[in-house]
């Protein structure tokens, strides 16, 4: 299971958390808010962290707003989220500053149940949200959301996701899309080029970068062993993957795997990601 990550150097302003267990999605959102509010708590605040966490868990914090199905007059829940609800509960309040901290977080439950009109109303907020606003959209089926909405959120999947889908989503990130070809030609790259690209990759979410490197490594090893390109997950980078399989030895690929593990350890102790990836580039260019 993947949690919503908060890189120290960058906090995204819109997340889409996708999964089948409603309670788990809601809890993940609250766990995210707990970490975020602890990190951004005003210095003059004397509230103990346990007290802050408890208010978030109970959904009693004024800077945490949940948007969910409204009740009908007969007490039953509505089956969708309307444009009027988005206008009243989101658009009508986003410009109000946080009451206690640096951020105000909106959690939109069942976001895939928003009407098309509601999604279009939300879109304007996603495009022009104030700096203090963070949106977390929870949903079961991302395919029910407009492409324009999907293009403005960072997607987080709860539970296992097919590797083919991971590859497809990660390929949408321009810096990652260029990675297989860069690794194939790395022996011909100047150190300045490697450093510049490492700095670009250093701005990405570490989990996404490590995941992509893992898939590339898996495909290179697979092709090296089988010579069957039909078994590759990264079909869009097949030329680069097969070339690396021919070029790199099993020892080199084993070291590649060890580098990925060291990245994860380095991330845990806040080693800068761009330095870690540059170290990997330099190793690979000399093999």
Give the per-residue pLDDT at 11: 83
- Beta-bridge partners for 107: 66, 136
Give the per-residue pLDDT at 65: 96
Q: Does position 9 have pLDDT exceeding 60, yes or no?
A: no
Q: Does position 146 have pLDDT exceeding 80, yes or no?
A: yes
Dihedrals phi, psi of 15, to nearest 5 degrees:
-120, 150
Q: Report the distance separating Cα 240 and Cα 200, nearest Å.
A: 20
Q: Which of 64-68, 79-83, 134-138, 224-228 has the lowest mean pLDDT?
A: 79-83
CA dihedral over 157, 163, 166, 170, signed as positive or negative: positive
Give the per-residue pLDDT at 38: 85
Average pLDDT over residues 212-224: 95
Average pLDDT over residues 188-215: 91
Q: Does position 2 have pLDDT exceeding 60, yes or no?
A: no
Q: Does position 112 have pLDDT exceeding 70, yes or no?
A: yes
Average pLDDT over residues 26-55: 81
Q: Report the distance separating Cα 182 and Cα 232, nearest Å.
A: 18
**Digit-coded pLDDT (tens) for 155-195:** 887 766 678 888 988 888 899 999 999 999 999 999 999 99
Tokens at 50, concatenated? 């346990």
Q: Does position 72 have pLDDT exceeding 80, yes or no?
A: no
CA dihedral over 170, 148, 27, 19, signed as positive or negative: negative
Average pLDDT, the chain: 87
Give the per-residue pLDDT at 79: 80
Q: Look up the pTM and report it.
A: 0.59
Tokens at 173, concatenated? 């990130």
């Amino acid at each position: 299971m993947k949690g919503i990550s908060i890189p120290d150097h960058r906090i995204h302003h819109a997340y889409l958390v996708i999964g089948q267990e409603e309670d788990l999605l809601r809890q993940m959102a609250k766990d995210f808010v707990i970490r975020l509010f602890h990190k951004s708590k005003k210095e003059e605040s004397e509230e103990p962290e346990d007290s802050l966490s408890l208010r978030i868990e109970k959904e009693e914090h004024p800077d945490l707003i949940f948007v969910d199905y409204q009740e009908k007059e007969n007490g039953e829940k509505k089956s969708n989220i309307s444009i009027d609800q988005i206008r009243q509960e989101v658009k009508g309040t986003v410009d109000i500053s946080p009451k206690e901290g640096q951020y105000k977080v909106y959690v939109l439950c069942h976001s895939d149940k928003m009407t098309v009109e509601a999604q279009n109303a939300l879109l304007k907020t996603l495009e022009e949200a104030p700096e203090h606003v963070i949106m977390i959209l929870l949903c079961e089926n991302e395919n029910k959301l407009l492409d324009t909405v999907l293009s403005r959120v960072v997607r987080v999947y709860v539970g296992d996701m097919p590797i083919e889908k991971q590859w497809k989503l990660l390929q949408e990130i321009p810096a990652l899309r260029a990675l297989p070809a860069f690794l194939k030609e790395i022996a011909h790259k100047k150190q300045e080029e490697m450093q510049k690209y490492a700095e670009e990759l250093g701005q990405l979410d570490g989990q996404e970068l490590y995941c992509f490197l893992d898939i590339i490594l898996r495909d290179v090893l697979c092709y090296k062993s089988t010579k069957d390109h039909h078994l590759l997950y990264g079909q869009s980078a097949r030329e680069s993957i097969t070339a690396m399989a021919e070029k790199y030895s099993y020892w080199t690929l084993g070291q590649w795997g060890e580098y990925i593990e060291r990245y994860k350890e380095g991330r845990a102790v806040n080693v800068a990601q761009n330095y870690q990836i540059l170290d990997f580039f330099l190793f690979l260019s000399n093999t």
